[in-house]
Structure 1
């Protein structure tokens, strides 16, 4: 059977915070200290001596510009009764995620109209936070990925 030429190709979703050119290797983010080395960002106790402190990593740029990659919204009576426990779980998930994926970070946590709203640098952390709270406390979890965007909206509710 010949190769078909009429198939739909999935279009690349552009992320303005990743540059096409490579960062100098090795480089250190002058804001947070994450090291770009061998094509990835990673935390290092002792960065290479030749590292240049001249870049701002994509996560720090997103945080500075408040350009979120995901939003998590928690609501319900259960949230109000257990907000301290849930907040602690959220911070633990974020800290654990950041160990292995340094660009996945919380931008902001705020309480608004009885809801807890969290914005994250990328969609993966937002999803993981929502799933962790859902796994621990049940409730209703909804994940929405707007088509064509590198973005997620996560809603969790429990009365």
Structure 2
């Protein structure tokens, strides 16, 4: 049995937007309408009448512009197919939000030869990169800076 005391212990990655306190069940975000119910965030129409008002972690991240992921798309192909690619990205966001309501696009910055997309969390950024790559091929690269809950996605064609 190996009983070493010098092994590395992974430290918990702190996310200031996920509070340790429990939200009242049910609670509804006064900005976007997402409902916290039975321990998860979900879309409910109409929200429960007894829901307390709060601001969800995604809306707080968007207000603070505190991104969980960034996607950079560039290249000649991207420029000539920009509208198609942007439509694909919007569809991916809608699909992802149906299952993960806190996964949202913070901003899409069109810089002519490059599009930069910031997202609230890393799942959506990764999914956007994978979807664009699956549809249009090209070069795709993911970077996860060590010790952070963040992704940098770069696609080029």
- The answer, yes or no, to whether TM exceeds 0.5 is yes
| Runs of 4+ residues deviating >3 angstroms | 2-6
Determine the structure 1 residue equivalent to 2:125.
Answer: 126
Aligned to 2:89, the other structure's residue is in SS state helix
User: SS at the partner of 2:152?
Assistant: strand
Is 1:16 matched up with 2:16? yes
Q: How many residues align?
A: 157
Could you give the per-residue CA deviations for residues 47-85 of structure 1, whole angstroms, max 9, x where no partner exists?
2221112x1000000001111110000000000110011
Unaligned stretches of 5+ in structure 2? none
Match of residue 39 from structure 2: 39
For 1:116, the equivalent position in structure 2 comes to 115
Q: Tell me, in whole angstroms, the C-alpha distance in 1 between the residues paired with 2:55 and 2:49.
A: 18
1:6 is displaced (CA, Å) by 3.7
> Is the contact made by 2:79 and 2:112 (CA closer than 8 Å) also made in structure 1?
no
Q: Which residue of 2 aligns with 1:28?
A: 28
Partner residue of 1:83? 82
* Cα RMSD (Å): 1.1
Q: Distance in 1 between matches of 2:112 and 2:77?
A: 15
C-alpha distance in 1 between matches for 2:97 and 2:49: 24
Structure 1 stretch 103-112 or stretch 41-50: which is displaced more?
A: 41-50
Deviation, 1:11, is: 1.0
Unaligned runs of 5+ residues in structure 1 are: none
State the TM-score, normalized to the length of structure 1. Answer: 0.95
Shift of 1:2: 5.8
Q: Which moved more, 1:108-117 or 1:32-41?
A: 108-117
Aligned pairs for 1:43-62 within 5 A: 43-53=43-53, 55-62=54-61
